Amino acid sequence: VLEGGSIESDGAGSILTNTQCLLEKNRNPHLNQNGIENMLKKELGAKQVLWYSYGYLKGDDTDSHTDTLARFLDKNTIVYSACEDENDEHYTALKKMQEELKTFKKLDGTPYKLIPLEIPKAIYDENQQRLPATYVNFLLCNNALIVPTYNDPNDALILETLKQHTPLEVIGIDCNTLIKQHGSLHCVTMQLY
């Protein structure tokens, strides 16, 4: 079982994914990590699979799809959900994920450029359950990077940060309605790139 948001490709032979998702026993109980990795390499032509084990967003119902946690902005750059608020429940897991991402290398042996995107302030549904709001759930299309925003004080800073790291037009789209369905832009689209 493999949904689109559970893997990312840098377009240069590397796939990024999360063990919490693909190794979840309800998804692929007949496969271990090596079996899944071999299948990804065979079916998608990948040369390497970069697995990380930490990171989650409260309210996520996908077993930690990578499209909410860590994504390739381009073949050299990974953007990822970050949390600097030590009082936020995501702080420890996202810091551990950051440390894992720092160890990842491209096929040529050089490290990826890492860009942290601070998660927005907590957003809750009508039952006071936290929703998995993240800026990483962006959509790449037609020379544009369409980024979810949440009427958060950090929205403008996130958009400006991304503009500094991509030649693409960066467009923010209010996703306060979408996030109520526990996903955002990348989650609601069928990506073919």
**Active-site residues: which are they?**
187
CA–CA separation, 186 and 45 (whole Å): 23
The SS3 of residue 159 is: helix
Concatenated DSSP letters for 15-68? EEEEHHHHT-TTT-TT--HHHHHHHHHHHH--SEEEEE-----TT--SS--GGG
* d(C-alpha 93, C-alpha 80), whole Å: 12
Neighbours of 69 (CB within 10 A): 30
For 91-157, the DSSP string reads: HHHHHHHHHHHTT-B-TTSPBPEEEEEEPPSP-B-TTSPBP---SS--EEETTEEEEEE-S-TTHHH
Both tokens assigned to 9: 């490709």
